[in-house]
Amino acid sequence: MTSVILTVLCRLAIAFWVGGAALFTFLLTPIIFRVENRDAAGRIVGYLFPGYFRWGLACGAVALAALLVVRGRHWIPAAGLLAVMLAVTAFQAFHIEPRAAILKQQIPSFETTPRDHPLRREFSKLHGVSAVCNLSVIAGGVALVVLI
C-alpha cells in the first residue's frame, strides 16, 4: 500500500512540476508579454521566477525521494533523469536567475536600450541558456511520465 501511495506521489509531483513549467512557459508568460509593455512584462515575470524555481525544486525533490523509496520499474534511469532535472533547475534558480535579475536592474529600459548594448547582449545570452534549461526540464518530465 505504501508503495502505491509513493508511486502516485512521485507521478503527481512530476506532473505538477512539468505541468506548471509548461503552463508558465507556453501560456502565462506569452500572455503577460502580449498584454503588457516589454518592461512591465519583464518585471512581472521576474517577480514570478523565484517561486517558479522553488516550485520545481520542491516537486523534483518530492518525486526523487518517493522514487528512491519505491524503486519500481525503471527506477535507476528515472532517478538519474530526475537528478539531472533538479540540477538544471537549481542552476537556473541559483545562478542564471540572480545574474539576470542584476542585469535587468542595470538596464534602464528594454524598450529603449539598443539590442546590441553589452548588458542587453549579456542578458540575452542568459535568457537563451535559461530557455534551453527550461525546455530540457519539460522534455525530461515528459520522458519521466512515459518511463515511470
Per domain, the residue ranges of the chain are 2-147
Q: What is the maximal distance between C-alpha atoms in the chain?
A: 60
Note the pLDDT tens digit of each residue in 43-83: 999 999 999 999 999 999 999 999 999 887 788 999 999 99
CA 14, 9, 92: angle at the middle one, nearest 5? 30
Which residues lie below 8 Å from residue 25, measured CB to CB, with a gap of 6+? Answer: 134, 135, 138
81 with 144: CB under 8 angstroms?
yes
pLDDT of 71 reads 85
Burial class (CB in 10 A: 0-12, 13-18, 19+), 109: exposed
pLDDT of 148 reads 80
Neighbour tally for 130: CB within 10 Å: 19
Q: What is the pTM of this model?
A: 0.91
Q: Provide the residue type at 15 as one letter.
A: A
Cell of 21: 513549467
The cell 525533490 sits on which residue?
Answer: 61
57 with 88: CB under 8 angstroms?
no
Distance CA(101)–CA(107), nearest Å, equals: 10
pLDDT of 74 reads 81
